[in-house]
Structure 1
């Protein structure tokens, strides 16, 4: 991969935690252009409802690219209502093989409350091994914090919020303005 190619881990932090019959997705609000903060209150975690069943999506990377992918995911879910895994796999296949989509620079975390996936432009649909996942420039910090907090008495929302706070204290491309969405299993 060339050094100018998008590495998939840039410019935000999204963390998801599944615990106690709930899935919580939290994201920060910082939009950066290079080393400059352009906006501090962007909404990178969104709820979509194709076919009536809610799905929560969090994205990292280029905003326009992420919205393109979210629109495609909605169409896949409309074609296969209630089948998030199938829709995610179909999106990943299109993303990997379509000449236009292949150049999109974003990653997604998606959940319907039962399933939880990370979708990448490399054609991956990853299900977290430990009921915790994170993406973005501060993703590894949030992932480590959430994994460390998981075995405590804290609920999914508390873990996600604390993990994102820790990532914001370490990653200069992440701030503490959180958007949190929750779904029940």
Structure 2
């Protein structure tokens, strides 16, 4: 349970995630790092779901990015194929948002590789709250990071599995 939001605006992409790790109704950790740069730092990824599963997916995606440098879409499609068809990977319970300077994608275990139309997307227990807030703020806030931070604050106020301990990563186009 977590919240990850991505906002793309004015030549900048921002991925923000909260730091809460919950086990049932108990907060185990409040400052986890669920958003991180991948590859040579030209891709940002955020995960929602089981932590060990997410680390497995980060490693798999990094391998695909090495195999297909500069081709985020291709690397993600190839990883999604593996995720869907590999017996071990199919059992992983996580979702990912990945972004480079041009593309934002949501990856799921059902083989989905989705690109949001407006460059704004959210995943996790508070993902829809953050997504709605970010879309509403996109017309009135000047930059992607401000939108992402405010959207995450709104999600943290609503979702009990989201906190306000943020990790924010950004890339300029």
TM-score, with normalisation over the residues of structure 1? 0.92
8 Å contact kept, 1:77–1:84 = yes
For residues 86-129 of structure 1, give each alpha carbon's deviation from its aligned partner in whole angstroms, at most 9, with x where no partner exists. 00000111111111000000000001121100000010000011
Q: Distance in 2 between matches of 1:23 and 1:45?
A: 13
The runs of at least 4 aligned residues of structure 1 exceeding 6 Å deviation read none
8 Å contact kept, 2:5–2:121 = yes
Secondary structure of the equivalent of 1:99? coil
8 Å contact kept, 1:53–1:82 = no
**Alignment partner of 2:71 out of 53, 64, 83:** 83
The answer as to 2:163 corresponding to 1:179 is no
C-alpha RMSD of the superposition: 0.8
For residues 39-79 of structure 1, give each alpha carbon's deviation from its aligned partner in whole angstroms, at most 9, with x where no partner exists. 00000000112xx3521000000010000001000000101
Secondary structure of the equivalent of 1:47? strand
1:154: Cα distance to partner?
Answer: 2.5
The answer as to 2:17 corresponding to 1:33 is no
Structure 1 gaps, min length 5: 1-10
**Alignment partner of 1:144 out of 132, 151, 158:** 132
8 Å contact kept, 1:114–1:184 = no
**Alignment partner of 1:19 out of 9, 31, 48:** 9
For residues 13-62 of structure 1, give each alpha carbon's deviation from its aligned partner in whole angstroms, at most 9, with x where no partner exists. 0000000000000000000000100000000000112xx35210000000
8 Å contact kept, 2:6–2:14 = yes
TM-score, with normalisation over the residues of structure 2? 0.98
Tell me the number of residue pairs that the alignment of Structure 1 and Structure 2 aligns.
Answer: 173
In structure 2, what is the equivalent of residue 3 of structure 1? none
Structure 2 gaps, min length 5: none
